[in-house]
A and B are shown apart, each in its own frame.
Chain A
Amino acid sequence: MIKLPRFRSPSLRNAISSLLAVIVAIAISTIIIVVVGKNPFEVYSIFLRETLGNPYGIGQVLFKATPLMFTGFAAGICFKAGLFNIGAEGQLLIGAFCTAIIGYVFAPLPPVILVPLCIIAGIIGGGLWGIIPGFIKATFGAHEVINTIMMNFIAAGVVNYLVGNVFFVPATVHTPEIGINANLPRLESFATFFHGSPVNLSIFLALGASILLQFYLSRTTFGYEIRATGLSQDASRYARIKTSRVMIWTFFLSGALSGLVGTNYVLGYKHYFELGFSEGVGFIGIAVALLARNNPIAIIVTALFFGILEYGSLTINVIIPKELANIIQAVAILSIITLTKVFDRYQIRLMEPAK
C-alpha cells in the first residue's frame, strides 16, 4: 500500500547516496594503503580474489553477512521507532547462550522439535534482554543509548560467569556441545560449491526474516504504529497509539532479531557458545542498518557488503597488518555513515530547489 512516486523516487535517491559513499570510502582506504607504502592494486586484487573470486570466499562472505543481517534488522527496527539500540551485542550474547544451552540440555529431542526450540530460545533470550532497556526507556524516560550500553556490560558479565563457572568444558571458553539433532546443516551438504565454508541454513532464516519484517512494517497496524511512533510521538498519542507499549515491543523484536545470531554460529557452525564469538557484529549492525536506511530488504544488500569487508579484511592480512585492516574497515564504515548524510542533503537540495 505504500507506493513511492516513480519520479524523484526517494529509494533511488537513497541508493545513489549510499553508493557514492561507498565509492568515497574506497578512495579514502586507497590513500591509507598508499601512505603505509603498500600497493593498493595488489591489496584490492587479493581482497577481491579472496572474497568474491572463489566459491570458498563467497561462502565465507555469506557466513559473515548472516549475523550482520540479524543485527542490521535489530538496529533498523529500533531506528524505525525512533530508538537507538546499541544493545544488540548484549542481546545476541544472551540469545546465543540460550540457544546453546537448550541445544545441550534437550539434546535427545528429534531435530524437527529441537531446532525450532533452540531458535525460539534465542528469540526469547535476546528479546527479554531487549525488553529491559525498552521498559526503562518507556517508563522512566532514561535514554536508551545508556541503558543498552549498560545492558551490554551486564550481558557480557553474565555469560562470562556462566561459561566460566556453570556450563563449561574444562580448559576452554565454551559451553558443552549441543546435541547433533540441534545442528543446522551447512550449505555444502546441499551444494558442493560451498565446500569447506561454514555458511549454513540460517542465512535463509535471515532472508525470510527480511521479507516478514518488510511486510510487518509496511502492511500491518503494528508496523504502522512503530513508524508513527518513530516519526512523531505527539501525533501518535493523539492517534491513540500507546507509544510506551510500542517502544517496549519494538525493543523486544529488536532483541529477538539479535538473538537469532546464535543460529548462525551455535547451530550452524561451532555447535557451542564460545566467549568472544560475536566480534562486534552487534555494533556493525548499526552501520548496516544506517547504510540501508533501515529498509529490511536493503539490509540484506548492505549486510553482504559489510560481510565482504569483514572477511576481506582478514584475507589481506597476508600483506597488511591486521590492525591496519581493522583501521581501514572502521574508516570505511565511518565515511559511509558520514557521507550518506552529506550526499542526502546535497541531493535533496538538487532535486527540491525550494517550496
Chain B
Amino acid sequence: MNIVEMQHMTKRFGQYVANDDVSVQFQEKSIHAIIGENGAGKSTLMKMLYGFHTPDKGIIRIRGKEERISDPSRAISLGIGMVHQHFMLIPALTALENIILGDEPTRYGSVLDIRRAEEEVISLSEKYGLTLNPRHRIQNLPIGSQQRVEILKILYRKADIIIFDEPTPVLTPQEVHSFLTSLENLRAEGKTIILITHKLSEVFTVCDRLTILRQGKVVLSCEKTETTPHEVARLMTGQDLPPSPGKDTIRSEDKTVEFVNVSSRSRISPDSLKDMSFYLRRGEILGVAGVEGNGQASLIQLVLGFQHPISGRILWKGKSNIPSAIAYIPDDRIKNGMISDFTLQENLLLGRHKELEFSHRSVFQRTPVNAFSSRVLSEYDVQPGNPSLPIRNLSGGNQQKLVVGRELTKDSELVVANQPTRGLDIKAIEFVHSVLIRERNRGRSVLLISSDLAELLKLSDRIIVMYEGTITGVFDSSATTDEELGLYMTGVKRQVTS
C-alpha cells in the first residue's frame, strides 16, 4: 500500500524551478531512497512533505487522504518526522531532555514527569535497537549517538514515516554500519523510511525502492532490483563519469615529510600521538585510515605547524624547518576553510592575502588578484564563477572546489587533504579525486585523511592505520582490503614493529 503519494509536485524559487512535476509513491514499511546530485531537488521535495515549503502545484496524499501540510507541526501530527543533516539538538542538555523537548510528559498539570519520560525513551530505544544512555549530555556523545537521539525524538512523537536528509556523511564507517542496521529494524517494526542520499552503496545495501531526481525532474523510480549502480550513477549525473586519471609509478624516494617517534599532547582533543613514525614521499598519496578521534586531528595540527611535538622530530626534506606554505583542505570547510560572508574573490585570498603576487606594501593589486581569481574559478570549474558573489550563495560542492583550487594553487610540495569529499555529490567527488591524483602525478605529496575506506583504497599508494594515537599498520593499498583495514582501525590486530 502507498502510505505517501506525491503527485505533480512543482516548486519554484523565483526563476528557478526546484521541482518540476515530480510524482513519487512511497510504500508502507519500505526503505525508499531519493537520490540525485546537489541541487537536483531532493531536499525541496522532502521539505514540501515536511511542511517547510508549500508547493506551487501538486497533491500530497497521506494514507490515501489528501492533505495540505502547511507547517512541520502539521506533518508531525500526520506521523511524519525528519532527521536533518545538521542536528537540531541542545548540547548542554541530556539526550532524554532533548528527546522530550517540546512534548514533555507531565503530572498534576504541569510538573515534569521525568521518570515516565525516561521509561518511555528506554523502551523505544530497546524496541528499535537504538542503543543509548538517555542521561548523557549531547556534548559528550559521538555523532552516531546524537543521530540516534534525533531518531528517538521522532519516534517519541509517534512518527511512522521518517525522512533522513543525507544522514551518513558525518558518520564513521562503524556508525554507518549500525545506522543502516537500525534502518532495517525500523522497517521491521513497520516504519516507512525515506532516505535522501547520494551514496550508492547505501542505496544498494538497504533500500527497497529508489527514485532518481535530476534538475528537478524524476528520471527513474523503480525497485532496487530493476537497476544497477552503474545505471543509477549515469542517470544521476546525466552522463558517464570520466575515468579518474591513472597513477604513474612512484619514481622518487625523496621524503617530503617524515615523522620520527613523534609524541604530542593535544589541547584541542584527547587524541594525542604516541611515538608515531611514518614518511611521505614525493609523488605519493599516503592515506590515513582510522576511526575519527584516534589522533588524526593532532597529526594535522602537527603537520600544519599549529602544534609542536613534545618528543620526537618532524623532518621536512630531511631538515627541521617547516615550509612557509602548506596546502590544506580542511574537513569542515564552512568553519575552517572559508568565510561565508566573504565573496568568492575574498575567499580565494584567504591565507594567501600576504603573498607578494597579490599585495604590494599591504595594498591589494587588482590586476593580479582578478587574474588569479578568474583562473582558479574557471580551472576548478566553480559555478557560478562570479568573483564578487558571496560564497554562501554557492552549493557545497562548488565551495569545496574553490577551497581545493585555492589550496592546490599554493606553492607547496605537500598537500594535506582532510576528508576532502565529505558531503559532496558524485560529480564533485570525482573532480576532487582526479585533481588529487593529478597533483600526485606532478610530483607533489598528498597526505589524505579520510573516513571513507573506498576513497582511501582508490587514491592512496600506501595507507597507514591510526588507532589510539599510533600506527597499527602500514599497507600497500593495492594489497589490502577494507575488511583488513577495519581490523587494524579497531585495534583488533596490529603489525609488529621492529
Contacts and interface: CB of A to CB of B under 8 A. Distances in A.
Contact of B13 (A220, A228, A239, A354): A354
B363 A220 contact: yes
Given A2-B343, A220-B362, A221-B353, A238 B336 contact: yes
Contacts of A2: 343, 345-346, 388
A222 B361 CA distance: 11
Contacts of B13: 353-355
B362 to A, nearest CB: 5
Given A1-B369, A235-B339, A354-B53, A224 B349 contact: yes
A246 to B, nearest CB: 12
B388 A5 contact: yes
Contacts of B14: 353
Contacts of B337: 235, 238
A355 B393 CA distance: 8
Given A3-B388, A225-B353, A240-B351, A235 B335 contact: yes
Contacts of A228: 339, 342, 350
B342 A238 contact: no
A220 B388 contact: no
Interface in B1-19: 13-14
A36 interface: no
Interface string B339-373: 11111011001111110000100111010011000
Range of interface residues on chain B? 20 to 34
Contacts of B259: none
Interface string A215-256: 000011110110110011011111111000000000000000
A4 interface: yes
B342 A231 contact: yes
Given A231-B342, A239-B351, A221 B364 contact: yes
A37 to B, nearest CB: 46
Contacts of A5: 386, 388-389
B380 interface: no
B420 to A, nearest CB: 15
Contacts of B340: 231-232
Given A1-B364, A1-B369, A224 B345 contact: no
Contacts of B53: 354
A235 B350 contact: yes
Contacts of A222: 362
B364 A219 contact: yes
A1 B372 CA distance: 13
A224 B335 contact: no
Q: Is the interface of B mostly helix, strand, loop or mixed?
A: loop
A219 B363 contact: yes
Contacts of B457: none
Contacts of B342: 227-228, 231
B423 interface: no
B328 interface: yes
A235 B353 contact: no
A353 B14 CA distance: 8
Contacts of B351: 238-241
Contacts of B364: 1, 219-221, 224
A240 B349 CA distance: 12
Given A5-B389, A219-B364, A221-B364, A231 B353 contact: no
Contacts of B330: 238
B338 interface: yes
Contacts of B352: 239
A221 B346 contact: no
A154 B71 CA distance: 54
B350 A1 contact: no
B345 A235 contact: no
Contacts of B369: 1
Nearest to A224: B353
Given A239-B350, A354-B53, A1 B345 contact: yes
Contacts of B335: 232, 234-235
B338 A235 contact: yes
Contacts of A355: 13
A338 to B, nearest CB: 22
Nearest to A229: B339
Interface in B231-281: none
Contacts of A219: 363-364
A355 B43 CA distance: 10
A232 B339 contact: yes
A219 B359 CA distance: 9
Interface in A140-194: none
> What 7 A-B pairs are tightest by C-beta distance, nearest first?
A239-B351, A3-B388, A239-B350, A221-B362, A231-B339, A232-B339, A238-B336
Given A221-B354, A224-B364, A234-B335, 13 more contacts: A1-B364, A1-B369, A220-B363, A221-B362, A221-B364, A224-B349, A231-B339, A232-B335, A235-B335, A238-B337, A239-B350, A239-B353, A241-B351
Interface of A: 1-5, 219-222, 224-225, 227-228, 231-232, 234-241, 353-355
13 contacts: A1-B364, A2-B343, A2-B345, A4-B388, A5-B389, A219-B363, A219-B364, A220-B363, A224-B364, A225-B353, A231-B341, A235-B335, A238-B330
